[in-house]
């Protein structure tokens, strides 16, 4: 069985891996293990965890599940790509991080960097009606509020990364009681990985890349 270790930004991403991605990959003969580092926007901390885990577990692949939102300028490729379009930007940063890790780990081919455009909550806009249905259980949510937001963007991954308009900020503005961990993972699970993949091209490309490791 192929093993993949995943460095996650926080508990939300870690639970998403264990409750949503784990079962999906198990069907592909892949076992995923998640580890949260508490924050992903500090490159020094992320770089240390990437290098250490690659060196500690040489029989496994390693990937990341880190938000692009809030990323510090010290990240490799950040400054050069900051004004580029979302997909061009994130691919440039992933490539730069990969090249940086290669300087410290001999077998860096096992490292597959992935940064979420722009944060985990973006994938919840893959099914805005499901998002509305879940959050309407405990409070009043304006009808089609999330669908109206989704309609403004080409994909959920295009929902931008300012302090006021990032995906989580938009959700909290409509539903202040929204919990990233308690609600976010359950909603993502209900939406289902196939719908998320269909709506989020960069996320789907990451999943395809990991699936290909098993050859199934």
pLDDT score, position 215: 77
Kindly report, residue by residue over 151-206, the tens digit of the pLDDT. 999 999 999 868 889 999 999 999 999 999 999 999 999 999 999 999 999 999 99
Kindly report, residue by residue over 11-52, the tens digit of the pLDDT. 999 999 999 999 999 999 999 999 999 876 789 999 999 999
First to last CA, the chain: 11
Q: What are residue 4's DSSP bridge partners?
A: 32, 61
Percentage of residues in the chain with pLDDT exceeding 70?
99
Over residues 108-122, the mean pLDDT reads: 96
115, 111, 40, 35 alpha-carbon torsion, rounded to 10°:
120
Quote the crossing angle between the two packed helices 86-102 and 43-56, to the nearest 10°. 50
Query: HSE on the CB side for 95, CA within 13 Å?
Result: 9
Q: What is this structure's pTM?
A: 0.95
Contact assessment for residue 33 and residue 62, using Cβ atoms and an 8 Å cutoff: no
Over residues 49-65, the mean pLDDT reads: 97
Helix (H) or strand (E) holding 8: strand 2-8
* Rounded distance between C-alpha atoms, residue 116 and residue 94, angstroms: 11
pLDDT score, position 40: 66
């Amino acid at each position: 069985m192929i093993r993949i270790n995943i460095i996650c930004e926080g508990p939300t991403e870690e639970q998403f891996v264990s409750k949503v991605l784990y079962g999906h990959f198990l069907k592909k003969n892949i076992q995923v293990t998640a580890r949260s580092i508490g924050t992903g926007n500090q490159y020094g901390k992320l770089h240390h965890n990437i290098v250490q885990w690659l060196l500690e577990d040489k029989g496994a692949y390693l990937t990341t599940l880190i938000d692009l939102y809030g990323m510090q300028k010290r990240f490799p490729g950040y400054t050069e790509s900051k004004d580029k379009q979302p997909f061009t930007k994130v691919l440039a940063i992933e490539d730069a991080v990969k090249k940086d890790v290669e300087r410290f780990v001999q077998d860096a081919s096992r490292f597959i960097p992935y940064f979420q455009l722009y944060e985990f909550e973006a994938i919840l806009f893959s099914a805005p009606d499901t998002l509305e249905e879940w959050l309407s259980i405990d409070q009043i949510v304006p009808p089609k509020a999330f669908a109206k937001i989704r309609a403004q963007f080409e994909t959920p991954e295009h929902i931008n990364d300012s302090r006021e308009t990032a995906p989580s900020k938009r959700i909290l503005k409509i539903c202040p009681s929204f919990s990233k961990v308690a609600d976010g993972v359950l909603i993502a699970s209900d939406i289902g990985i196939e719908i998320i993949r269909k709506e989020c091209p960069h996320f789907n490309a990451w999943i395809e890349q990991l699936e290909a490791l098993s050859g199934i």
